[in-house]
Amino acid sequence: MAFVITDPCIGTKDAACVDVCPVDCIHPRKDEPEFAQATMLYIHPDECIDCGACVPACPVAAIYDSPESTPASQKALIEANSVFRAGDADAFATAEALVQSHVAAHAELMGVAPAERAADHAK
Ligand code: SF4
Ligand code: SF4
């Protein structure tokens, strides 16, 4: 089990979750080279200790507490979270391709402001 970042992070990406994570498992951080180009942030599934600190820190409710609790509309982003590795260009490209595929498949969600997007996840 691990927490999962989903699409309200797209267009928000403020890194508030990074600042509260006790084990530095959310990437890319603002001081990592991938940050500027990353469409969203990712949680390393093996390093996350399920503490829950990131959830209230996120201003747009982008973070779910497990893959199982992540809505069906967001399932592609579970893999994006799991493959991203800071400093690994191939992993970055794979994660970003998954995100872009998700964006293309969910124009209806992308048309909603990030702050309201999570409310539409279960629809
Ligand atoms: S649940 Fe805790 S350990 Fe996991 S990403 Fe959030 S803050 Fe980090
Ligand atoms: S706090 Fe939420 S919106 Fe901000 S970077 Fe983390 S997951 Fe993305």
Tell me what the pLDDT averaged over the chain comes to.
Answer: 97
Residue 53 in this model has a pLDDT that exceeds 70: yes
Decide whether any atom of ligand 1 lies within 6 Å of the 1 Cβ. no
Task: Quote the tokens at residue 102.
Answer: 């998700």
**Rounded distance from Cα 63 to ligand 2 centre (Å):** 8
pLDDT tens-place string over residues 103-123: 999 999 999 999 999 999 987
Residue 22 in this model has a pLDDT that exceeds 90: yes
CATH classification of 4-120, choosing from 3.30.70.20, 3.30.590.10, 3.20.20.150, 3.20.20.370? 3.30.70.20
CB 61 within 8 A of CB 43: no
**Rounded distance from Cα 61 to ligand 2 centre (Å):** 8
**Rounded distance from Cα 78 to ligand 2 centre (Å):** 15
Instruction: For residue 1, name the pLDDT band (cuts at 50, 70, 90).
Output: low
Helix (H) or strand (E) holding 5: strand 4-5
Count of residues making up the chain: 123
Decide whether any atom of ligand 1 lies within 6 Å of the 21 Cβ. yes
Single-letter amino acid, residue 115: A
pTM: 0.97
- The residue whose two tokens read 């293309």 is 104
CB 37 within 8 A of CB 100: no
pLDDT tens-place string over residues 31-47: 999 999 999 999 999 99
CB 74 within 8 A of CB 64: yes
Decide whether any atom of ligand 1 lies within 6 Å of the 53 Cβ. yes
